[in-house]
Amino acid sequence: MSGELSPIDKAKFVAAKRASDLVEDGMRVGLGTGSTAAWLVRCLGERVREEGLRFRGVPTSTRTAELAREVGITVISLDEARWLDVTIDGADEFDGNFNLIKGGGGALLQEKIVATASDQMVVIADAAKRVEHLGAFPLPVEVIPFGWPTTQALIEEMLVSMDVMGRNSTLRMTGDAPYVTDEGNHILDLHLGRIGDPRQLSLVLNQIPGVVENGLFVDICDTVIVGFGDGRIELRDINTGETENERLDFVENENMFADLGDWKRD
């Protein structure tokens, strides 16, 4: 497998592999959406098959639910689980305070609900996702379809008073049609360049009529597991302030990740 993966894919894999070790029998686990989260689901499926691991997964999208069932993970809804032991998910960006931008894969609403319904949230990412300031990655904002141009105008007007570098926004598209989330909403991607105060921006965005939720995750993430292309892994815990460094040796595998080509982000 190591010969078939790019350095970024290797980094995502080692982070996901390390995070999969955190799951124990009987846990209720939130399963994120995106390319890195898909590696996690595959790694957990391997543990289910080879070790007999038994846990229940709460997916954050229909795509993740389908993949989890495919690899043998027991899938339940958040309504059934009510509360989770841990959620493990990717991120489009994270800063030194563990603030995140998420939603590149289009599932930010379910991802935020599931993450906040957990005892802890673990983020898995390649090293390129670590930034000094959030905002280089477009900030997704989920909005209802009704009157979305008005919502967009209100957002751009509000951004004039925010500590950001840019104020442009675009409606996310799928071909010639607007992208539709699992909840039937649209996504506006805000091209901000730099976000000076993620907490303030998140609070103000969610007060705008038509906005359902935004992709800023503030005070939600507890641990970040960063993978590197050479197999190194860095674990950072915001609660203890500790950082651990490990290394994972690559082992050839029967191409268990060959069908992940559609999982582009996070």
Asked whether residue 222 is marked as a ligand-binding residue, the answer is no
User: Which of 101, 41, 50 shows the shortest CA–CA distance to 74?
Assistant: 41
Please indicate if the annotation marks 62 as binding a ligand: no
Cβ contact 226:130 at 8 Å:
yes
Task: Assess whether 50 carries a catalytic annotation.
Answer: no
Residue 102, annotated ligand binder?
Answer: yes
Say whether 176 counts as a known binding-site residue.
no
3-state DSSP assignment of residue 210? coil
Is 223 part of any known ligand binding site? no
Residue in this structure with the two tokens 């993430």, named with its chain if needed: 221
Q: Is 64 annotated as a binding residue?
A: no
Residue 243 assigned to a binding site: no
Query: Binding site annotation covers 182?
Result: no
Whether residue 129 is annotated as binding a ligand: the answer is: yes
Q: Is 17 annotated as a binding residue?
A: no
Q: How many CB atoms lie within 10 A of CB 120?
A: 17
Alpha helices, DSSP H, located in 102-258? 108-116, 148-159, 198-205
Residue of 111, 242, 246, 254 with catalytic role: 111
What is the Cα Rg of the chain in Å?
18
Query: Has 34 been labeled as part of a binding site?
Result: yes
* Dihedral angle sign, alpha carbons of residues 201, 205, 207, 208: positive
- 35 among annotated binding-site residues: yes
Tell me the pairing of strands 28-31 and 177-178. Answer: unpaired
Cα(218)–Cα(215) distance, integer angstroms: 9
* Alpha-carbon torsion (112, 114, 116, 120), positive or negative: negative
Q: Which two tokens stand for residue 149?
A: 């141009």
Are the C-beta atoms of residues 111 and 214 closer than 8 Å to each other?
Answer: no
Binding residues for substrate: 33-36, 89-92, 102-105, 129
What residues form the annotated binding site?
33-36, 89-92, 102-105, 129
Catalytic annotation, residues: 111
